[in-house]
Structure 1
């Protein structure tokens, strides 16, 4: 009996030790990871969380490089960088190098169909001028109301050079004959939207491009402060042509019509990563595959940044707080990643 008890005790001790070891495995030890993140700060949150997850798995994760989309996709294809969590597809398809799918891959879904983009206008001016689509900005009284610099064109807070949306907006200006009627302002998006918010609060009209998830749809509430407006008709870019059905979107809160002819493809937000990195690091690959964030969580964090909590230290704290609130999910991702490395 004593021998049996001793044997059971030994088995239990070994099992507990193995369990403890398994939950603390560092399959990434000795591996340096080179991440990137996009130039829009509303995508920094997901990078911070992934960064912490890979560190938990033992990887030495470098500080991310902030890059314009085409530069990142070229770099990850070459193997100079390992991943980012800011892929918007199919919007970014046109910015991929020809050999992207040979050398790199899209993995998991940070937010499936989470990227809705489009044009919004202050609701009081939508009502005042009966604005339904971009075509209404050809009307003299509408142009005049939204012309802040006196050049005879309505000012649109648009996307900086290098963003996927910049090319789509340029396409819209051309195919809808709006180049003489709308002026897309391509300065810093964050500064442009801060100016728009100030203008709105002082009673002036606002007209801007935005996307979800984003702090803008918390500060400018669709249906209350602003309205999503239509493009005149669906006229896709070459890159959008394979996903035309995702450009007319039903059930959009605060839209001037249902469905909304957004003119932008409702995108999947995904991780893009180097294939060799994924093959050599099954733990990291599994973590990236499982990683996902609710849109409400991203937008809530984005709003905190807009209210002043936007330093790297703040974003790290936001990531820690999210992990603490989602401990069971987090531990499940890490467990699956460690098992993938066995």
Structure 2
């Protein structure tokens, strides 16, 4: 999902940040978007409560960097709780199936992703399908800066899905009519919030579970059913000519979210690794936690601890109690 500033993005891997991360028993990344932050904090709270571990966090949004860190198995990143499939299939193929330096927990939960719009975009302007975007007049409905092009959020820098959406925009035929914005999710959410309050059109990449589905009246745009022959994804970390070699002219296949962890964790923290294989979350719970974090401004650590307390029976099962 993004452009990869490998030397600068993972600032916590240098200097004092690195030292503090390695001093802990386990290190996890916080990608600064609420659903992943919520799940990360649930794992952190449960591991600290059940096993007495010290769990530290580092901040990054570059997914390939996270996988590279797990691949090194040096404690830079031990657990990545937000593996979206098929988005991150290339990384799974490389590190889980290929080098076998990373393990992928079998359990996961279902998710949805695609383009969504504010409901009034459908009711007032009859924008229902991705193909409705391949029209310069329709695109102008989403123009907020007066340059004649609409704005559409592709995702954040560093997300595998952002690159997929760029190819989709080209192959669905609307890229030339839009400014394909790659910006932080918080900035995109601010634009969505403004549009929703003013009952104006907005469009962007949407994924669920997510707090926005609880907060706003949104509609997913229709896309062709997933066709593997029309969903060929090459990522920049695999080939510099990824954009031209990719073809995405259908919707996503069934999407699931999993936990990945460095293979060495099974030796260093076997009880935690065993628990990661058992963790199962409900999508609606993840959305609710994200809503508490973003909308109600509760600290993510507090939200996670409350969830762990309310679901102690499940947590105990994860850890074999």
Report the TM-score when normalising by structure 1. 0.74
Number of the residue aligned with 1:6: none
Task: Report SS of the residue matched to 1:91.
Answer: coil
What is the distance in 1 between the residues matched to 2:54 and 2:294? 30
Match of 1:237 among 232, 241, 249: 232
Does the 8 A contact of 1:117 with 1:262 survive in 2? Answer: no
Does residue 309 in structure 1 map to residue 309 in structure 2? Answer: no
Matched, 1:112 2:96: no
**Judging changes above 3 Å, is the alpha-carbon distance between structure 1 residues 71 and 91 closer, same or farther for their aligned structure 2 residues?**
same
**Preserved CA contact (<8 Å) 1:158 1:189:** no
Matches within 5 A, 1:1-150: 32-55=25-48, 56-80=50-74, 81-95=77-91, 98-101=94-97, 102-109=100-107, 111-113=108-110, 115-150=111-146
Q: Number of residues paired by the alignment?
A: 278
Taking the aligned partners of 1:274 and 1:202, their CA distance within structure 2 comes to: 46
- Is 1:297 aligned to residue 290 of structure 2? no
Deviation (angstroms), 1:216:
0.9
Contact 1:74–1:96 under 8 Å retained in 2:
no
RMSD (Å) for aligned C-alpha atoms: 2.4
Q: Report the Cα offset of residue 270 of structure 1.
A: 0.9
CA distance in 2, matches of 1:230, 1:283: 44
Q: 1:334 to 1:194 in 2, by over 3 A?
A: same
Q: Deviations over 1:161-180 (max 9, x none)?
A: 21121011111122222221
Q: Which runs of 5+ in 2 are unaligned?
A: 1-22, 236-248
CA contact (8 A) 2:34 2:294 kept: no
Aligned partners of 2:51, 2:209: CA distance in 1, in Å? 28
- Residues 125 and 205, structure 1, Cα contact 8 Å, conserved in 2: yes
**2 CA distance for matches of 1:39 and 1:303?**
14
User: Partner of 1:63: helix, strand, or coil?
Assistant: strand
Q: Describe the shift of the 1:232–1:277 C-alpha distance in structure 2 as closer, same or farther (beyond 3 A).
A: closer
Cα 1:139/1:233, change in 2 over 3 Å:
farther
Aligned to 1:157: 153
Distance apart, 1:138 and its partner CA: 2.5
Which of 290, 296, 316 pairs up with 1:331?
Answer: 316
Note the 1:236-255 alignment, pairs <5 A.
236-238=231-233
Q: Name the TM-score, length of structure 2 as normaliser.
A: 0.79
Distance of aligned partners of 1:39 and 1:321 in 2 relative to their CA distance in 1, 3 Å threshold: closer
How far off its partner does 1:95 sit?
A: 4.0
Q: Answer whether contact 1:229 1:262 (CA < 8 A) is retained.
A: no
Task: Name the residue aligned to 1:270.
Answer: 258
Cα gap change, 1:94 to 1:57, in 2 (>3 Å): same
Quick check: which has more Rg, 1 or 2? Answer: 1
In the TM superposition, residue 128 of structure 1 has moved relative to its aligned partner by 3.0
